[in-house]
Amino acid sequence: MIKFKILTIFPRYFISPFMEGLLKRAIDNRIIMLETIDIRGFTKDKHKTVDDTPYGGGAGMVMKPDPIVSALEYASDEKGYSIIVFSPKGKKFDQIAAKRFAMHDKFILVCGRYEGIDERVMEFYSDEEISIGDYVLNGGEVSALVFIETVARLAPGFLGNDQSVVDESFENNLLEYPQYTRPRDFRGHTVPDVLFSGNHELIREWRLKQSMNLVKERRSDLLELAKNNEQALDGVKKKNNGGNNG
């Protein structure tokens, strides 16, 4: 079971996402466990203040370290938690990072708001600062959802069919090939004939080629990494040609 504890000033934000679909099923089946912890519950003043003005001046407010660190201490009820703080200046989160995280089973996820969190929380009380992309969100709650959903779906048993993960985008630095379902002819738009050939090797070759074309067209950053797949395609082609000739 993977445990996720979320530190946030908006715990209600997480109610509906965990009541739907595969995440709900994973919670019901105890594949994942989720707990939200309200940072405001760890403030010491009557106004439950979590933010203050930045030293040195500047726009906006900064989240105070004290309530967050007290919440972290409360959440760390056993050893082994990875403490992740979400921030646009963090290390970029991607499928490779998700796989690395999926090897762990206990996370405390800290969601920032305002202009971010006092730097000492990241420096002295967390393991990693993570960004979910090069854009700025209002808060870390969306980032926590992205992190949980991506890591959880790699957990054994999360998806009914573990093969689904193997064929997905970013596996082998590829993007997923086009998928089709019934009807074969939708308003004159037909499904590629190869998919009806019944020849699984040919279908595999077609899919690999489609995946590689998508990477070439859309994701030059993945291209270098995907070069190894050219060799895989060559291998499949040779095998198919050999099969056809035979």
Site residues (CB under 6 A) for ligand SAM? 86-89, 111-113, 115-117, 131-133, 135-140, 143
Nearest distance in Å: CB 195, ligand SAM = 38
Residue among 129 and 205 whose Cβ is closer to ligand SAM: 129
Residue among 137 and 155 whose Cβ is closer to ligand SAM: 137
Residue among 133 and 192 whose Cβ is closer to ligand SAM: 133
Nearest distance in Å: CB 122, ligand SAM = 10
> What long-range pairs does 122-127 form, CB within 8 A, spacing at least 24?
122/85, 122/87, 125/65, 125/68, 125/69, 125/72, 125/83, 126/83, 126/84, 126/85, 127/82, 127/83, 127/84
Report the residue closest to ligand SAM, judged by CB.
Answer: 112
Residue among 10 and 18 whose Cβ is closer to ligand SAM: 10
How far apart CA 90 and CA 43 sit, in angstroms, is 26
Nearest distance in Å: CB 128, ligand SAM = 12
Nearest distance in Å: CB 74, ligand SAM = 19
Residue among 121 and 222 whose Cβ is closer to ligand SAM: 121
- For 65-129, the DSSP string reads HHHHHHHHHHH--SS--EEEEEEEEEEEP-HHHHHHHTT--EEEEE---TT-B-HHHHHHH-SEE
User: Is the C-alpha dihedral spanning 17, 19, 20, 22 positive or negative?
Assistant: positive
How far apart CA 60 and CA 135 sit, in angstroms, is 18
Nearest distance in Å: CB 7, ligand SAM = 10
